[in-house]
Structure 1
Amino acid sequence: MAQDAGWGGGAYGGAPYGGPPGQPGWGGWGGGWMPPKPGVIPLGPLRIGDVLGGAFATLGRYGKQLFGVGAAAYGGALAVVLVAAAVAYSAVADHLDRILSLGSYEDPRAEDVVPLVVAFGSVALVGLIAVVISTAMMYTAVPVVLQEAVLGRPTTFSAVWRRAWSRMPAVIGTVVLTWLIAMVPVVLAWACFLAVMVAALSTDGGSGPAVVLLIGALGTLATAPLAIWLWVKFSLAPSAAVFENQGPIGAMRRSSRLVRGDWWRILGITMLAGAIAGVASYLIQMPFSLLGLFTGMLGTANLGDDPNPAAVVVAMSGYVLSMLVGQLVAQLIVATFPPLVTGLLYVDRRIRTENLGPVLAEAAAVPPQYTT
């Protein structure tokens, strides 16, 4: 991109806001001038309709790249988890059979329970790591696509993948640090709540339970707003990590500066984007759930009175497969649309506070005498 529009930190020189570059009016859009729109958004302060419309336009124009990266990331994560589950099952199949064959009054032996716990914990850990990596890939790929979408330039799956992969460690660090910082007040509140609960239960009768419930409610009310405030404060950090090649700490500082003065607006638009993605996810999963229930009933209809675990797994495979596919498709929407909105909010804040509009117009090769 021309003139460091790739997009480095700090304020840029160039025309003041008010009119086209070199003329008054760039930003106020008075006198008949309008901001140029070479890509999915106008290169001026964005309204909520511009942000949401830009996110939908990006999905429409760059859907193959975004959903291709998402399918590769989440499909790979799902494959890794399934392989881990298959390996774990083969390792503890005998222990599982012995536990399932126990009568209602028989207790399982420790040598059968411990391997199952270890296997389940191992699969859960593998799944957590796979989800974190695949989600970070989407948090990285979305800004990579937006860098071109804002300027109306084409890109390819391979270009997005290479750029996203190179910035993924920084984005993972940013997301993990943001989550940890936002969770600190909640964890402290729960620690205090558990301490009070233990103290109350150690006393006989009295008003102990009521005090515990009151303290728990007050702790939640006191810490939830702080956690939300921190989450919004650092919500633009993944975009800064990609757009500006920032490390985790630098990206969080940039997010804090950009969010300052516009916290409530960013919260509202982000929540609206999450609600839209949630509704879309629910509507997508409904037909897959119905199909899964139908195939599950067909599969279990032929089971005997005392089926073995392998037969149950085979009978329910259609249901599980349908639910996994539905969850994967829905996850692509949830993991793509909100980050698109967040990325456009990042661009909007830089247009408003750092005069980024003229730089983007130059990078997009917009003629200086652009009019409507």
Structure 2
Amino acid sequence: MAYGSTPYPGPPGYGGWMPPPPPPKPGVIPLQPLGLGEILGGAFSTIGRHWKQLLGIALATYTAVALVVVAAIGLAYLAVSDRLDRVLDPSGDHAPGWDEIGPLVLTFLGVYVFGMIMLLVANSVIYASCPAILQDAVLGRPTTFGSVWRRALSRTWAVLGSVLLTALVSVVPLLLAGMMFIGIVVSMITLTVAGTGEYAWVILVGFLGALATGPVAIWLWVRFSLAPAVAVFEGQGAVASMTRSAQLVRGAWWRIFGISLLAYAMAAMASYLIQLPLSVLNALPSGGASLSDDASNGGVAATIIITSLAFGLISTLIGQVLTAAFPQLVSSLLYVDQRIRNENLAPSLIEAAAVPRGAV
């Protein structure tokens, strides 16, 4: 053989080349630095294996929050119904002033803020349940609804604190967006009643303000996006979780932003695709019956209403689970990935899973 030529590979164990053993994979991800496909695949695998726990927690949480918000809307309407009737009265000969519109705006703005807070509370329970499930899913251990529920509730307040503090960075653009929406509604009312659009300036201020403050809010949101996972995995408090999240995100902001954005887009698309056939099925039973038929069709009408509500609730719940749980599962896997890359977490996970090195 000529000098410098490549030697022929010998048999394994006799100086020949052998590929490195694959990384251990006791659960939904291989215990190595993760690529995009492994992160997304791990999130999908977690949903497939533990959908009962996710769906059960979501059902209990969002049902309770929906009842509270509906009650708040009802109380708000009862409080301002007389004033609302006067503002919407088409027989009025002058445009309603701020002394008439102002209380309505403040009342329903308060309901809007309350609804956002309650949604944050509900999402915090989901955000806490996702890392709680991943603690077992990554290690390949079975889990139950009760164990996930207990772990999630024990960390919900820390997660809620981090979520609320993170949400503060988006309060200004959200309020400006709400201001723009209110300006649109008020302008439509004044145009309908008096033919004037004197409150149109509110729309412009809200739009420009949201456009100016939005990028800063996005940058801060990405820096603190791993805080819920930190709160559950490491048992940290709200402020410590946000500090730890900023530390883990440092140097990987664009990667985490891109993967998180993709996860939200995929969740929204999957939610739409799941709700679409349910919406079609929801419309099918009403095709051959009318709610105005005689009493003999009362049972059919009741069946239509109950079926429609059932399909609507199921599709809404599944859509909300996907849009809330899937991105948070991705964020939790990003947390695991960052610790594997920067803190050599893989050996600890291998030991915890009782998987010897080099085994699958």
TM > 0.5 between the two?
A: yes
Greater Cα shift, 286-295 or 259-268: 286-295
The one of 40, 53, 62 equivalent to 2:28 is 40
Instruction: Supply the AA of the counterpart residue of 1:224.
Output: G
Rate the CA distance shift 1:126–1:186 in 2: closer, same or farther, 3 A. closer
Q: Is contact 2:340–2:346 with CA below 8 Å preserved after alignment?
A: yes
Q: For residues 356 and 324 of structure 2, what CA distance do their matches in structure 1 show? A: 36
Q: Provide the residue aligned with 2:338 in structure 1.
A: 349
Rate the CA distance shift 1:83–1:225 in 2: closer, same or farther, 3 A. closer
Q: Is contact 2:267–2:323 with CA below 8 Å preserved after alignment?
A: yes
Q: Does 1:250 align with 2:240?
A: yes
Q: For residues 332 and 115 of structure 2, what CA distance do their matches in structure 1 show? A: 27
Instruction: Supply the AA of the counterpart residue of 1:359.
Output: S
Q: Does 1:177 align with 2:165?
A: yes
Rate the CA distance shift 1:153–1:118 in 2: closer, same or farther, 3 A. same
Instruction: Supply the AA of the counterpart residue of 2:130.
Output: V
SS in 2 for 1:245: coil
Rate the CA distance shift 1:182–1:85 in 2: closer, same or farther, 3 A. closer
Is there any run of 5+ residues in structure 2 with no aligned partner, and where?
Answer: 1-17, 180-199, 294-303
TM-fit CA distance, 1:73: 1.0
Q: For residues 180 and 93 of structure 1, what CA distance do their matches in structure 2 show? A: 29
Q: Provide the residue aligned with 1:154 in structure 2.
A: 142
Rate the CA distance shift 1:335–1:243 in 2: closer, same or farther, 3 A. same
Rate the CA distance shift 1:175–1:289 in 2: closer, same or farther, 3 A. same
Q: Is contact 1:137–1:165 with CA below 8 Å preserved after alignment?
A: yes
Cα shift readout 1:97-118 (whole Å, capped 9, x = no counterpart): x949x974158x99x9999889
TM-fit CA distance, 1:41: 0.4
TM-fit CA distance, 1:340: 0.5
Q: For residues 187 and 121 of structure 1, what CA distance do their matches in structure 2 show? A: 9
Rate the CA distance shift 1:267–1:294 in 2: closer, same or farther, 3 A. same
Q: Is contact 1:273–1:337 with CA below 8 Å preserved after alignment?
A: yes
Q: For residues 117 and 182 of structure 1, what CA distance do their matches in structure 2 show? A: 21
Q: Does 1:261 align with 2:247?
A: no
Q: Does 1:72 align with 2:52?
A: no
Q: Provide the residue aligned with 1:105 in structure 2.
A: 91
Q: For residues 68 and 175 of structure 2, what CA distance do their matches in structure 1 show? A: 31
Q: For residues 187 and 119 of structure 1, what CA distance do their matches in structure 2 show? A: 15
Instruction: Supply the AA of the counterpart residue of 1:329.
Output: I
TM-fit CA distance, 1:351: 0.4
Q: Provide the residue aligned with 1:231 in structure 2.
A: 221
Q: For residues 224 and 93 of structure 1, what CA distance do their matches in structure 2 show? A: 33
Q: Is contact 1:299–1:316 with CA below 8 Å preserved after alignment?
A: no
1:88-127 matches, cutoff 5 A: 95=82, 99=85, 104-106=90-92, 124=112, 127=115
Q: Does 1:164 align with 2:142?
A: no
TM-fit CA distance, 1:331: 0.4
Rate the CA distance shift 1:318–1:164 in 2: closer, same or farther, 3 A. same
Q: Is contact 1:296–1:318 with CA below 8 Å preserved after alignment?
A: no
Q: Provide the residue aligned with 2:324 in structure 1.
A: 335
TM-fit CA distance, 1:136: 0.6
Q: Provide the residue aligned with 1:273 in structure 2.
A: 263
Q: Is contact 1:142–1:343 with CA below 8 Å preserved after alignment?
A: yes
Instruction: Supply the AA of the counterpart residue of 1:278.
Output: A
TM-score for both structures, normalised by structure 2: 0.71
Rate the CA distance shift 1:353–1:93 in 2: closer, same or farther, 3 A. closer
Instruction: Supply the AA of the counterpart residue of 1:276.
Output: M
Is there any run of 5+ residues in structure 1 with no aligned partner, and where?
Answer: 1-29, 192-208, 304-314
Q: Aligned Cα RMSD in Å? A: 4.3
TM-score for both structures, normalised by structure 1: 0.69
Cα shift readout 1:173-207 (whole Å, capped 9, x = no counterpart): 1011112125558879999xxxxxxxxxxxxxxxx
Q: Provide the residue aligned with 1:3 in structure 2.
A: none
Rate the CA distance shift 1:362–1:278 in 2: closer, same or farther, 3 A. same
Q: Is contact 2:58–2:321 with CA below 8 Å preserved after alignment?
A: yes
Q: Does 1:51 align with 2:39?
A: yes
TM-fit CA distance, 1:267: 1.0
Q: For residues 117 and 229 of structure 1, what CA distance do their matches in structure 2 show? A: 31
Sequence identity percentage: 48
Q: Is contact 1:43–1:357 with CA below 8 Å preserved after alignment?
A: yes
Rate the CA distance shift 1:265–1:125 in 2: closer, same or farther, 3 A. closer
Instruction: Supply the AA of the counterpart residue of 2:353.
Output: A
Q: For residues 321 and 105 of structure 1, what CA distance do their matches in structure 2 show? A: 41
TM-fit CA distance, 1:285: 2.3
Instruction: Supply the AA of the counterpart residue of 2:339.
Output: R
Rate the CA distance shift 1:189–1:74 in 2: closer, same or farther, 3 A. closer
